[in-house]
Amino acid sequence: MEKNLDNVEYLALSGGVGGAKLVLGLSQILAPEKLIVVANTADDFKHIGLNISPDLDTIMYTLANLNNSELGWGQTKETWQFLDALGRLDQETWFKIGDRDLATHIVRTTKLDNGETLSQVTKELCFSLGVKHQLIPMTNDKVATVVHTKSGQSIPFQQYFVRDRCVPKVRGFEFQGIATAAPSPSFLKSLESPKLRLIIICPSNPYVSIDPILRMRGVLDLIAERRIPVVAISPIISGQALKGPAAKMMEELGELASAIGIAKHYRTLYRDMLTGFIIDEKDRRLEADFTEMGLRAIATNTVMVTLQDRINLAQEVLRFGSRITI
């Protein structure tokens, strides 16, 4: 079959903040029909009666140029009157919902209650906000991450992540509902599309953002059948996560808090799924270790401060992906 480069698709698997940065870069160089972004929904939860999808919203706001770059989550030009009034009514306010952000949750909840799927709702929200690229939830079913801690407590993810500020030491994760959750139809369609050329695993937390996506039934098998490159970008640079608790989790789980540790995690869980790995230029000395592992790796700048950084990394990812043969 002749490869028509005008007729290819790229699939990005993403969590929140870090992943959204790369997704924005990809959206700047790929036409809407060429990029499919699948977001983790295992940290979705119901809070004060609202259906909240943190990763979907972070990516959607980022693509709509509405994200709050100071906070890293929520909407730009946000205010907090609702939260203040909620506190006045003696309610818990640890989960910070801004006045503008709230509209998204209200609309999502109403539409879900009316029987729409999360995929449909996401499509409509994206349409309203002018997001042209395809953003789809990993599943329309309920999956809920529970954090098992070393103290023996099991904590719903957002409580661990936001309320407890990732302080409890992690023993492991459980994705309730993952065994029966079906990948969303658009996700499946993308995995089965003859146009699909590359799967990009964004620089997101492997444990709580990427693992849920890959662990849904059928996903790994479909990826293996495709025989196309799967490239991951390390969320760990010089042993540290730019954002979020990935490095802390790795240490607590007894894994090596480094790009190598990330690659080993994916290798251990998903055998030979990974065909390429992108590390930061500060970790260039690790390239030899990857060669030893039998995994193609390149080093480049992965710290995305400016929009151009995001575009540059996106270009590196596509270039690297096109060079890998399976």
Q: Can you give the binding site for a copy of itself, defined by CB under 8 A?
A: 48-50, 75, 78-79, 81-86, 88-91, 98-104, 106-107, 109-110, 113, 125, 128-129
* Minimum CB distance to a copy of itself, residue 89 (Å): 5
Please say which residue, 115 or 294, places its beta carbon nearer to a copy of itself: 115
Torsion of CA 147, 148, 153, 154, to 10 degrees: 50
In the complex, the smallest distance separating the C-beta of residue 299 from a copy of itself, rounded to whole angstroms, is 41
Give me the least distance between CB of 95 and a copy of itself, in Å please.
12
Q: Which is nearer to a copy of itself, 109 or 301 (CB)?
A: 109
Nearest approach in angstroms of CB 75 to a copy of itself is 7
For residues 114 and 325, which CB has a smaller minimum distance to a copy of itself in the complex? 114
State both tokens at 106: 């209200």
- What is the Cα–Cα distance from 27 to 33, expressed in whole angstroms? 10
At residue 114, φ and ψ (nearest 5 deg) are: -85, 5
Amino acid at residue number 305: V
Closer to a copy of itself by Cβ: residue 50 or 162: 50
Q: Residue 323, Cβ neighbours under 10 Å: how many?
A: 11
Residues linked to residue 43 through DSSP beta bridges, in sequence order:
none
Element housing 71 (H / E): none
3-state SS, residue 147: strand
Q: CB-wise, 82 or 273, nearer to a copy of itself?
A: 82
Name the 3-class secondary structure at 293. helix
At its nearest, how many Å lie between a copy of itself and the CB of residue 124? 8
The DSSP code for 161 is I
